[in-house]
Amino acid sequence: MAGVPAAMLDAAAERFRLLADPTRLRLLNELEAADEIPVGELAERAGVGLSNTSKHLHQLERAGLVGRRRVGTTILYRVADPVIPQLCEIVCASLRRRYAALAEQA
């Protein structure tokens, strides 16, 4: 990460902080699978309470990771940053390799 400005590193650390929460990762995973989904259905699929889901969605939206749009009285949420699914896949692929290597050693 040579040559990356300190302010950008701070912003990257904030993004990783947001992604470090298992509940937010579950919500993002369900959002990615559903494409767009109302908050109540998202909460149910992720197994998270409605108010907790709303709190996490607000944080993710403020950071530009999720977006929302209104359709009548319903608000639909979606993953707004296309890098998020790619980043999650990179991390999960690394974990799969690590777990496979550990299983071979056992």
Q: Which residue has the higher pLDDT, 4 or 83?
A: 83
For residue 94, being part of any structural domain is answered with no
Q: 34 and 26 in contact (C-beta within 8 Å)?
A: no
Q: List the domain range (segments joined by +) for residue 32.
A: 6-80
For residue 32, being part of any structural domain is answered with yes
Residue 30 and residue 102: Cα distance in Å, rounded?
A: 28
The model's pLDDT over 13-65, given as tens digits with 9 standing for 90+, comes to: 999 999 999 999 999 999 999 989 999 999 999 999 999 999 999 999 999 99
For residue 1, being part of any structural domain is answered with no
Query: Does the pLDDT of residue 69 top 90, yes or no?
Result: yes
For residue 102, being part of any structural domain is answered with no
- Residue 57 sits in a domain whose CATH number is 1.10.10.10
For residue 95, being part of any structural domain is answered with no
Contacts 24+ apart (CB under 8 A), 11-19: 14/63, 15/63, 15/65, 18/59, 18/60, 18/63, 18/65, 19/84, 19/87
**What's the whole-model pTM score?**
0.87
For residue 68, being part of any structural domain is answered with yes
pLDDT value at residue 72: 95
For residue 67, being part of any structural domain is answered with yes
Number of domain units in the chain: 1
